[in-house]
Structure 1
Amino acid sequence: MKTDWKRELRIWWREVDRWLLFFVALLMLVGTLAVAAASPASANRLSTAETQLPDLYFFWAHIRMQVLGLCVLIGTSLMPLKLLRRGAIALGCAMLFAMVLVPFVGTEINGARRWLNVGMSLQPSEFLKPAFAIMLAWILSWKLRDDKLPVIGVSGALVGLIVVLLMAQPNLGGAILFVGTWFVMVMLAGLPLQRIGMLTAAGVAGMIAAYLFYDNARHRIDAFLGGPTAFDHVDLASRTLNSGGWTGSGFWLGDNKMRLPEAHTDYIFSVIGEEFGLIVCGIVVLLYLAIVLRVLIRMVEEDRLFIILAASGLTAMFGGQAFINILVNLQLFPSKGMTLPLISYGGSSTLAICFTVGLLLAVTRRNPYLAREPFDWKGSIEKEGDT
């Protein structure tokens, strides 16, 4: 049967959360301007005597990836829920297998082995993030079918495996993000307060163990607690962020960014502060908050547990990554090597973030003519079987 794409697009436009789409578009626009501002600094640092990169090298590469990312975002948000769930689970399994290969055949960059060379640089953990949220929502929603199913144990084993694979890279920031997302989702799934306390204690114990036995974690935590030294990455990022004042030095007029490593990726928020000012930085933070709050508002009248958990997990992943990156730039969190979603330059990471947003738009789609009631545990059992 031939698909009527015009009809599908009309239905999509009627059901999609246009405010959420608007906030995402604004962040991508800010990202385009920010990468244009940061591109000369990174191109200059990465140029060699044999290869001289043009000033806008990363800007044009970012534009190409954004166009491809938009196609992924829109295409994902158009897909039916059942197909998305199955596809995300298959993707998650594939990325877990790829992460097993990373320590053996992965590409090492700046002391970390996180990438596979598959014609382009692929970071499996980035694509695992959205797939993990969907997989975990699916597992936790089993609780509606049978309260005796060990959903917490199964989900805990999954996140434990992921943490082990991430620590082998090493990628402590990614491990923290996965554990945090898991914690948010199991709480929403109705985990008893006693178990929440036990998990919190286990998390604290895990951080202490990481500090004692994991060199990468200990060095980052020591550097954070001891304060930045002159000209280290975090100190340079903070000084770059503050150098523009409230209104910024002006587009392409920043000087501090030229000494800043990873200006187009990890520390792009500092470049925004220098060239566009702290006011624009505040607007960026408000846009991320608006996305998180918009999803929460959208979930108030949702009546299916899988949808509530999936939307919450995707939002926790997206918002958690954004605020960790911003806190690192503000010297309020140890350096994590984590990009700023929808703003930082990226190859496969840009596609992964767009896939995440596409999933978020898909699970928050609503028929405006259908009234919904707050979530009902018993009544959702039948609905879970249909999705």
Structure 2
Amino acid sequence: MTDAARPSATPKGLRGRMEQRFGRGNQGPIAIWFWELDRVLLFLVFLLIAIGLVAVAAASPASAVRYSEGAHQIAPMYYFWRQTAWVAVSIPVLLVVSMLPITVARRMAIAGTIIFLVLLMAVPVIGVTVNGARRWIGVGIAQFQPSEFLKPLFIVTTAWLLSLRARDPQLPMLVVTGLLTAVVAALLMLQPDFGQTIVFSSVWLILLMISGVSPKAIGALFGAGFVGVIAAYLFYPTARLRIDNFLFPDREGAGTDHYQTDMAHATLTAGGVTGTGPGGGTVKFKLPEAHTDYIYSVVGEEFGLLACAIIAVLFLAIVVRVFVKLLDEEDAFRLLAASGLAAQFGVQATINMGVNTGLLPSKGMTLPFISYGGSSMIALSLGMGLLLAFTRRNPYLTRSPYIVR
């Protein structure tokens, strides 16, 4: 046998294949994506998704018992297996979106904003009512919330509009983005969905501050926001009910919000520091929406307050990781888009954990990547994929923190 025909001595195991596919010398699109990607951020997200599957498995029996009725019996692990299927769909969405070129991702987000804004307008007409709120659109046997998909797309579109001020400070982007946010907020409050209204408005204000809008304008907007909250309390029954139930839980007619927050606190603290152990929780069976809005409390009962603290630290780590990575970002659009997506992720998590711990009034908002939900999981994966796309960078490129394009 000649040397040319002799089998190569190079190892062909998993490590060899990984080096061949993702080696720094490989100029293929997959290899370039792999080296430009923030792999630490991706690992933290995957860790959060894995924790979410464990949490849904813990909450699934309680929700199955609550929603079983007569001949309609739900298997104890029904929600866990469905969530596993949704995760299997969502992870490819996250990875594919993270590979998109920045221009393509921006155009997709702008087009998506228009589409889902139209769908949000259609919700009052063709929407499905669940638990007294018309927020969903039914497609076959499935339902989805247009607002969930609109969130990341709206943020990227708003970031693009505000980034145009870097080229021409005279452009009235404060007014344009303000009107867009006001339209979205009005449509959400019709559903009613006060929690999502707060998320959209908060992220818009954060983007304005990052974009360099004058402190005087920011102060005026905060004042307008305070007046808006008072107006909502006076003229918007849903906001008044939620605020009253939070501030005056012992009043007559406090309603289900009072019961939910009380049960969430009782479930959260039932397991102490280390928890009752997987499957050992009993208070969770009295908790409404154990697999969605109040899954953080279920984690507290079965895995302890220590596990809750670890989840909170994970959310904080993801947000801090993004903002630290953006400290020397030169491109105004990337800076705003990534900051806004990270802020939305953090604000939503903070609201959910605040509700579960009794620090905030009930808002019907899921915990990102932890709560059960198909459309929510896909929408979150879309947003995180965009965030990973906007934080990709050449590892050999040095940047100056003083240049803004």
Could you say whether these structures have the same fold, taking a TM-score greater than 0.5 normalized by the shorter chain as the test?
A: yes
Kindly indicate whether the alpha-carbon contact (under 8 Å) linking 1:302 and 1:375 is maintained by their aligned counterparts in 2. Answer: no
Matches of 1:168 and 1:158 in 2, distance apart? Answer: 16
TM-superposition CA deviations, 1:297-321 (whole Å, max 9, x none): 1101110110010011101111100
Matches of 2:290 and 2:321 in 1, distance apart? Answer: 30
Kindly indicate whether the alpha-carbon contact (under 8 Å) linking 1:113 and 1:169 is maintained by their aligned counterparts in 2. Answer: yes
Kindly indicate whether the alpha-carbon contact (under 8 Å) linking 1:185 and 1:309 is maintained by their aligned counterparts in 2. Answer: yes
* 1:121 and 2:143 are equivalent in the alignment: yes
Correspondence for 2:155 among 103, 125, 133:
133
Correspondence for 1:55 among 76, 79, 91:
76
Matches of 1:256 and 1:9 in 2, distance apart? Answer: 48
Kindly indicate whether the alpha-carbon contact (under 8 Å) linking 1:32 and 1:343 is maintained by their aligned counterparts in 2. Answer: yes
Matches of 2:168 and 2:84 in 1, distance apart? Answer: 48
Name the amino acid aligned to 1:161.
V
* 1:223 and 2:245 are equivalent in the alignment: yes
Deviation at 1:376, TM superposition (A): 2.1
Matches of 1:246 and 1:372 in 2, distance apart? Answer: 45
- Residue 129 of structure 2 is matched in structure 1 by 108
Matches of 2:381 and 2:196 in 1, distance apart? Answer: 18
Alignment of 1:155-166 (within 5 A): 155-166=177-188
Name the amino acid aligned to 1:126.
E
- Residue 333 of structure 1 is matched in structure 2 by 360
- Residue 240 of structure 1 is matched in structure 2 by 267
- Residue 296 of structure 1 is matched in structure 2 by 323
- Residue 42 of structure 1 is matched in structure 2 by 63
Matches of 1:375 and 1:259 in 2, distance apart? Answer: 55
TM-superposition CA deviations, 1:252-300 (whole Å, max 9, x none): 1100101111000000000000000000100000000000000011101
- Residue 181 of structure 1 is matched in structure 2 by 203
Correspondence for 1:89 among 100, 110, 120:
110
Alignment of 1:1-387 (within 5 A): 7-119=28-140, 120-227=142-249, 232-377=259-404, 380=405
Name the amino acid aligned to 1:222.
D
Deviation at 1:226, TM superposition (A): 1.1
Name the amino acid aligned to 1:23.
L
TM-superposition CA deviations, 1:179-212 (whole Å, max 9, x none): 0000000111111111111001000000000000
TM-superposition CA deviations, 1:92-121 (whole Å, max 9, x none): 110000011101110000000000012220
Name the amino acid aligned to 1:219.
L
- Root mean square deviation of aligned Cα: 1.2
Question: CA separation of 1:370/1:246 partners in 2, compared to 1, >3 Å: closer, same or farther?
Answer: same
Name the amino acid aligned to 1:91.
G
TM-superposition CA deviations, 1:45-90 (whole Å, max 9, x none): 1111121110000000000000101010001001111000000111
Name the amino acid aligned to 1:25.
F
Deviation at 1:25, TM superposition (A): 1.0
Which structure 2 residue ranges, 5 or more long, are not aligned?
Answer: 1-20, 23-27
Name the amino acid aligned to 1:99.
L
Name the amino acid aligned to 2:127.
G
Moved more, 142-151 or 76-85: 142-151
The SS at the match of 1:51 is: coil
Kindly indicate whether the alpha-carbon contact (under 8 Å) linking 1:265 and 1:346 is maintained by their aligned counterparts in 2. Answer: yes
Deviation at 1:375, TM superposition (A): 4.4
Deviation at 1:146, TM superposition (A): 1.5
Which structure 1 residue ranges, 5 or more long, are not aligned?
Answer: 381-387
The SS at the match of 1:45 is: helix
Deviation at 1:32, TM superposition (A): 0.5
Q: State the identity as a percent.
A: 49
Q: TM-score, normalised by structure 2?
A: 0.91
Kindly indicate whether the alpha-carbon contact (under 8 Å) linking 1:265 and 1:339 is maintained by their aligned counterparts in 2. Answer: yes
Matches of 1:132 and 1:265 in 2, distance apart? Answer: 24
Name the amino acid aligned to 2:112.
L
Kindly indicate whether the alpha-carbon contact (under 8 Å) linking 1:247 and 1:277 is maintained by their aligned counterparts in 2. Answer: yes
Matches of 1:358 and 1:257 in 2, distance apart? Answer: 33
- Residue 384 of structure 1 is matched in structure 2 by none
Matches of 1:195 and 1:302 in 2, distance apart? Answer: 25
Name the amino acid aligned to 1:221.
I
The SS at the match of 2:280 is: coil
The SS at the match of 2:349 is: helix
Matches of 2:171 and 2:403 in 1, distance apart? Answer: 19
The SS at the match of 1:232 is: helix
Matches of 1:159 and 1:50 in 2, distance apart? Answer: 46
- Residue 383 of structure 1 is matched in structure 2 by none
The SS at the match of 2:174 is: helix
Deviation at 1:147, TM superposition (A): 1.5
Matches of 1:144 and 1:301 in 2, distance apart? Answer: 16
Kindly indicate whether the alpha-carbon contact (under 8 Å) linking 1:38 and 1:264 is maintained by their aligned counterparts in 2. Answer: yes
